[in-house]
């Protein structure tokens, strides 16, 4: 069973007849067709009063005071949506292929560190590292905004952007592909 600090259930997808239930105790539970619990937010007893799927595709649970108790944006998988942050130590982990969402030890991963990012292939086999050295301090987070991946540094308690991946137009999301490339997906113009 996956918990609040676990990513989506990518390696063991549910089957037809599965249910997603927000319980009266405030826990969001995914159950497979046979009733077995596959995934949960572990938010029972945290005064969850509402759930919302935002315009940015972030699933959010709120307490009675309107504060965020749990949100899907805190648990990236293989992609970042506009406004989603990647914190130091968090990884994007590529799917096995374009037709399988599962992961395995040979998958690529993109990890943010306090000084740049690292790309791995397999069980922490180092492939590439980029470190941004400056007097800007350490990286607070990377965020996918305005069609680009911005790296924000903490300088005197302020976050400033110091490095970006090139911008694109009509962007929907950025994804770590099974071949290790970060790819920006755009919506088609009508």
At residue 4, the pLDDT reads 40
Greatest CA separation for the chain:
56
Q: pTM of the prediction? A: 0.77
Q: Identify the H or E element spanning 22.
A: strand 19-22
pLDDT band at 5 (very low <50, low <70, confident <90, very high): very low
Q: 181-190, pLDDT tens digit by residue?
A: 888 887 665 5
Give the pLDDT confidence score for residue 186 in this predicted structure: 77
148 pLDDT band (50/70/90 cuts)? Answer: confident
Residues paired with 175 in a beta bridge: 79, 183
Smallest CA-to-CA distance from 47 within 35, 61, 30, 59 is with 61
165 closest CA partner among 97, 108, 80: 80
* Tens-digit pLDDT profile for residues 35-87: 999 889 999 889 999 999 998 889 999 999 999 999 999 999 888 988 899 99
- For the chain, what percent of residues have pLDDT higher than 70? 69
Residue 159 is predicted with a pLDDT of 62
pLDDT of residue 174: 87
Mean pLDDT for the chain? 79
Domains present along the chain, CATH in parentheses:
19-74 (2.90.10.10), 79-187 (2.90.10)
Confidence tier at 110 by pLDDT (50, 70, 90): confident
Q: What is the pLDDT of residues 129-147, one digit of tens each?
A: 777 655 657 788 888 877 7
């Amino acid at each position: 069973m996956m918990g609040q600090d676990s990513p989506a259930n990518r390696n063991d997808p549910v089957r037809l007849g599965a249910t997603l239930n927000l319980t009266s105790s405030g826990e969001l539970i995914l159950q497979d067709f046979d009733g077995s619990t596959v995934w949960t937010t572990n938010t029972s007893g945290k005064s969850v009063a509402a759930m919302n799927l935002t315009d940015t595709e972030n699933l959010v649970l709120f307490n009675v005071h309107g504060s965020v108790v749990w949100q899907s944006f805190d648990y990236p998988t293989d992609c970042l949506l506009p406004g989603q942050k990647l914190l130091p130590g968090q990884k994007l982990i590529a799917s096995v292929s374009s037709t399988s969402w599962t992961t395995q030890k040979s998958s690529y991963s993109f990890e943010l560190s306090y000084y740049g990012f690292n790309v791995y292939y397999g069980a922490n086999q180092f492939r590439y590292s980029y470190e941004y050295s400056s007097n800007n301090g350490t990286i607070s987070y990377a965020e996918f905004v305005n069609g680009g991946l911005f790296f924000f540094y903490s300088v005197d308690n302020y976050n400033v952007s110091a490095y970006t991946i090139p911008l694109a137009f009509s962007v929907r999301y950025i994804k770590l592909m099974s071949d290790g490339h970060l790819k920006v997906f755009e919506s088609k113009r009508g």
